[in-house]
Structure 1
Amino acid sequence: MAHLSYVNVFARDIEALSDFYRRVFGFVEIEAIRSPIFRGLDTGRSSLGFNAHDAYDLLQLSDFRNAVGVKFLLNFDVDTKDAVDHLVPVAVAAGATLVKAPYETYYHWYQAVLLDPEGNVFRINHVLS
């Protein structure tokens, strides 16, 4: 069976954006894979990578460099509703924009929807019992 190893985000500033996720969620940088165009964070179950725009050329994706619109949604699960409520102001103080305040969904999750400092969408979730 396959498993998700990394989610990579193209970023204008890989240092600042990886630092944002480190500060908000406490992820640790995987220093062994650091390069001038990449930063990686250990999330505990998979990894989160940040690619500089130079990687578009490296991966032969230069035709897609200026694609517009929301293309993915990062989800970060936490252990409690209180953790969602705690992390939202931490994320906003670190530069996130709150799109939708914490709420209970019809599928029984408690979540908030935010934009990181580069405008990428992410959610902070707790799955309710």
Structure 2
Amino acid sequence: MAYLSYVNVFAEDIVALSSFYQQVFDFPEIESIRSPIFRGLDAGKSNIGFNARDAYTLLGLAEFNDVKGVRFLLNFDLETKEAVDRLVPLAVKAGATLIKAPYETYYHWYQAVMLDPEGNVFRINHVLP
């Protein structure tokens, strides 16, 4: 069976953006894979990688280097609604923009929709029983 090992994000500032996710979610850095163009965080069941723009060329994606817009949607699941309510203001204080305050969805999640400091979309969720 396949499993998700990494979600990689192309970032303008890999140090600042990875530090944002470390600060908000307390994910430790995987220092053994650090490089001038990459930072990795241990997010529990999978990892988050932050690639500098130099990685576009390295990966044969140079023609996409200037593409703007939403490049991914990260979802962070928490154990309780209260945990969602606690982390949302911490994320804002760390530099996130709140797009949608915590609410119950039609698919029975309690979630907040936010933008990280580089404008990438992420959600903080609790799956309701």
Q: Which amino acid aligns with 2:122?
A: F
Task: Output the CA distance in 1 between the equivalents of 2:2 and 2:59.
Answer: 22
Aligned 1:32-71 pairs, distance under 5 A = 32-71=32-71
TM-score by length of 1: 0.98
In structure 1, distance between residues paired with 2:63 and 2:50: 19
SS at structure 2 position matched to 1:60? coil
Runs (4+) off by over 4 Å: none
1:128 alignment counterpart = 128
Once the two structures are TM-superposed, the CA of residue 93 in structure 1 deviates from its matched residue by 0.2
Q: Distance in 2 between matches of 1:71 and 1:56?
A: 13
AA at the equivalent of 1:51: N
| Corresponding residue number in structure 1 for 2:86 | 86
Displacement of 1:66 in angstroms is: 1.2
Cα distance in 1 for partners of 2:28, 2:69 equals: 29
The alignment's TM-score, normalised by the length of structure 2, stands at 0.98
> Shift in Å at residue 59 of structure 1?
0.5
Match of 2:13 in 1: 13
Distance, in Å, in 2 between the alignment partners of 1:19 and 1:69 is 22
- Report the Cα distance in structure 2 between the residues aligned to 1:73 and 1:85, rounded to whole angstroms: 20
Computed over aligned residues only, the root mean square deviation of the Cα atoms, in angstroms, reads 0.6
State the secondary structure of the residue aligned to 2:125.
Answer: strand
Deviation at 1:87, TM superposition (A): 0.4
Cα deviation code 1:30-79 (max 9, x no counterpart): 00000000000000100000001000010010100111222321000000
Q: For the residues of structure 2 that align with 1:61 and 1:50, how far apart are their CA atoms?
A: 16
The 10-residue stretch of structure 1 (31-40 or 60-69) with the greater mean CA deviation from structure 2: 60-69
Q: Structure 2: 5+ residue runs without aligned partners?
A: none
How many percent of aligned residue pairs carry the same amino acid? 75
User: Could you tell me how far apart the structure 2 residues matched to 1:110 and 1:90 are?
Assistant: 17
Contact 2:9 2:72 in 1 (8 A): no
Aligned partners of 2:55, 2:98: CA distance in 1, in Å? Answer: 29
